[in-house]
Amino acid sequence: MFGGRTGDWLLTRWSGGRVVVSGAGFVLGGPVCAALLLIDELRLFVPLLFGTFFLYSWYNGPLSAVILDVVPAAVRASVLGAYVLFSHLAGDAIAPPLIGYLSDRIGLRPAMLLLPTAGAVGGLVILISLSTVGRDMARVKV
């Protein structure tokens, strides 16, 4: 909800509003998630867990909306379906066996720390689209 509302509010002021919220959630969430994986105190675990979920949930609505904003209406359902498929294949399907494999070789904590690193890098990749999203949205509206 926070990401969607904030992204929509920012979009009324700037074409990159939804993109910035999506990318920022991952960039800010990466260090919080890393801290969550590194702490050993239960009293810090719950706030860091909620912080991680809060920040990592920012992207979902705004990123889906951006995808719909930049593709022609005739292919929106197909493009969104492909996005959901590939995001689950890359995350849900590959991550558990990859982390398990790496855990056997380098240990669980170092393997798990790859996840917030990937999240932060993913956020930066999303933010790269700030350079084109305004033009892409205008092109679709024509």
Mind giving me the DSSP string for 68-93? Answer: HHHS-GGGHHHHHHHHHHHHHIIIII
Residue 2 confidence (pLDDT): 94
Going from N- to C-terminal start, the domains of the chain cover: 2-73+116-141
Long-range (24+ apart) CB contacts under 8 A made by 66-70 are 66/18, 66/19, 66/22, 66/129, 66/133, 69/18, 69/133, 69/136, 69/137, 69/140, 70/133, 70/136, 70/137, 70/139, 70/140
Residue 20 confidence (pLDDT): 97
Global pTM value: 0.88
Among 81, 50, 74, 72, smallest CA distance to 136 is for 72
Q: Which residues of the chain have pLDDT under 50?
A: none
Q: Distances from the Cα of 55 to the Cαs of 22, 32, 102, 121, 130, in angstroms?
A: 9, 9, 26, 15, 19
Residue 104 confidence (pLDDT): 98
Q: Which two tokens stand for residue 45?
A: 């675990």
Residue 90 confidence (pLDDT): 84
Residue 142 confidence (pLDDT): 66
